[in-house]
Structure 1
Amino acid sequence: MTFINPKITPIYQSSVFKFEDLNELDAYFADTSSRYLYSRNGNPNSDELADAVNQLEGGAGAVATSSGMATIFAAILAYCQAGDHVLCAADIYGGSAALLNTELSRMGIAVTYVPFEQLYELAPLCRPTTRLLLAETMSNPLLRVADLGRLAAHCHALGLKLVVDNTFASPMLTRPLQLGADISLHSVTKYIAGHSDVTAGVTVAADAEVAARLKQIGVLYGLTLSPMESWLAVRGLKTLRLRMREHSHNALAVATMLAAHPAVREVYYPGLPTHAQHALAAEQGGGLFGGMLSCKLADDREVVSNFMRRTERFPFAPSLAGVDSSLSYPLGTSHRALTAEQQQDLGITTGLVRLSVGIEPVEELLADLRQALES
Structure 2
Amino acid sequence: MTKDVSELARRPAFPESVSRAVTTPLQPSVVYASPDPDTLDAQYEGRAFGYTYSREGHPNASVLASKIDAMEGVSGGWCTASGMAAVTATMLGLLRQGDHIIGGDQLYGRSLRMLTQDLPRYGITATLADPTDAAAIEAAITPATKLILVEVVSNPTLRVADMEGIAAIAKKHGLILVVDNTFTTPRAFKAFDHGADVVIHSVTKLMAGHSDAMLGYVAAKDRDHAEAISTTIITLGLTPSPYDCWMAERGLMSFNLRYDRAEENAAALAEHIAGLPGLDAVLYPGRADHPDHNRAGDLLRGRFGNMVSFRLKGGRDQANALTRAMPEMNFAPTLGDIGTTVSHAASSSHRGLTPEGRAALGITEGFFRVSVGVEEIELLKAEFERGFAVL
Which band: TM-score by shorter chain?
A: over 0.9
In structure 2, distance between residues paired with 1:332 and 1:222: 30
| 1:33 Cα deviation from its structure 2 partner | 6.2
Q: After TM superposition, give the deviation of residue 210 of structure 1 in Å.
A: 1.7
Mapping 1:224-243, distance limit 5 Å? 224-243=239-258
Task: Find the aligned partners of 1:206 and 1:327 in 2 and give their Cα distance.
Answer: 35
Q: Deviations over 1:277-303 (max 9, x none)?
A: 222222332322111111011232111
Partner of 1:143: 158
Partner residue, 2:280: 265
Judged with a 3 Å threshold, the aligned counterparts in structure 2 of structure 1 residues 231 and 372 are, in CA distance, closer, same or farther, namely same
When normalised by structure 2's length, the TM-score is: 0.92
Aligned counterparts, 1:44-55, within 5 A: 44-55=59-70
- The reply to whether residue 87 of structure 1 matches residue 68 of structure 2 is no
Larger Rg: 2
Q: Which of these residues, 162, 181, 191, is aligned with residue 206 of structure 2? A: 191
Partner in structure 2 of residue 366 of structure 1: 381
Is 1:125 matched up with 2:125?
Answer: no
Judge conservation of contact 2:130–2:137 (CA < 8 Å) in 1.
Answer: no
Specify whether residues 237 and 265 from structure 1 end up closer, same or farther in structure 2 by C-alpha distance, changes over 3 A only.
Answer: same
Instruction: State the TM-score, normalizing by the size of structure 1.
Output: 0.96
Structure 1 residues 189, 206: closer, same or farther in 2, change over 3 A? same
2:322 to 307, 311, 318: 307
Is 2:245 the counterpart of 1:202?
Answer: no
Q: Which amino acid aligns with 1:292?
A: M
Structure 2 counterpart of 1:88, which letter? G
Shift of 1:30: 2.8
Partner residue of 2:87?
A: 72
Cα separation, 1, equivalents of 2:303 and 2:17? 47
Contact (CA 8 Å) 2:133, 2:162: kept in 1 or not?
A: no
Structure 1 residues 33 and 80, CA, compared in 2 at 3 Å: closer, same or farther? farther
Q: For 2:317, what is the secondary structure of its paired residue?
A: helix
Contact 1:50–1:62 under 8 Å retained in 2: yes
Q: Where does 1:87-106 land on structure 2 (aligned, <5 Å)?
A: 87-106=102-121
Counterpart secondary structure, 2:217: strand
More helix, by proportion:
2
Q: CA deviation at 1:258?
A: 1.0
Instruction: Write the distance in 1 (CA, Å) between the matches of 2:301 and 2:70.
Output: 18
- Could you tell me which amino acid in structure 1 is paired with residue 320 of structure 2? S
Partner of 1:316: 331
Q: 1:115 to 1:33 in 2, by over 3 A?
A: farther
Counterpart residue number, 2:6: none
Q: Which residue of 2 aligns with 1:6?
A: 21
Counterparts in 2 of 1:321-340, with a 5 A limit?
Answer: 321-340=336-355
Which residue pairs with 1:297 in the alignment?
312
The 2-side partners of 1:323 and 1:57 are apart by 22
**Residues 111/165 of structure 1: CA separation in 2 closer, same or farther (3 Å cut):** same
**Aligned-partner SS, 1:64:** strand
Residue 176 of structure 1 aligns to which amino acid in structure 2?
Answer: A
Query: Matched residue of 2:77: which SS?
Result: strand
Residue by residue over 1:137-157, the C-alpha shift from the partner in whole angstroms, topping out at 9 and shown as x without a partner, is: 100111001132221111211
SS across alignment from 2:226: helix
Q: Deviations along 1:145-195, whole A, 9 cap, x unmatched?
A: 113222111121122111111111111111111111111110011001000
Query: For 1:46-82, what per-residue CA distance to the aligned partner results, in whole angstroms no more than 9, with x for missing partners?
Result: 1111111111111242110000110011122232111
Identical aligned residues as a percent: 37
Moved more, 187-196 or 95-104: 95-104
Q: Per-residue deviation at 1:118? A: 3.9
Q: Which amino acid aligns with 1:329?
A: H
Residue pair 1:138, 1:168 contacting (<8 A) in 2 also: yes
- Tell me the secondary structure at the aligned position of residue 272 of structure 1: coil
Which amino acid is 1:353 matched to? Answer: F
User: 8 Å contact 2:103–2:115 — kept in the other structure?
Assistant: no
Matches within 5 A, 1:16-27: 16-27=31-42
Residues 64 and 224 in structure 1, CA contact (< 8 A), matched pair in contact too: yes
Q: What secondary structure, in the 3-state scheme, does the structure 2 residue paired with 1:171 have?
A: helix
Aligned-pair CA distance for 1:206? 2.0
Partner SS, residue 78 of structure 2: strand
Alignment match of 1:211 (pick from 212, 221, 226) = 226
Structure 1 residue runs of 5 or longer lacking an equivalent are none
Please list every run of 5 or more consecutive structure 2 residues that lacks an aligned counterpart in the other structure.
Answer: 1-15
Contact kept, 8 Å, 1:59 with 1:207, in 2: the verdict is no
Greater shift after overlay, 150-159 or 329-338?
150-159
**Could you say which residue in structure 1 is the equivalent of 2:177?**
162
- Structure 2 residue 184 is the aligned partner of structure 1 residue 178: no
Alpha carbons 2:109, 2:350 under 8 Å: kept: yes
Letter in 2 for 1:147: D
Q: 1:33 to 1:63 in 2, by over 3 A?
A: farther
Distance in 2 between the 1:221 and 1:28 partners? Answer: 21
SS at match of 1:331: helix
- What amino acid sits opposite 2:126 in the alignment? V
The 2-side partners of 1:77 and 1:66 are apart by: 16
Cα pair 1:282 1:288 within 8 Å, conserved:
yes
In the TM superposition, what is the alpha-carbon distance from 1:21 to its structure 2 partner? 1.8
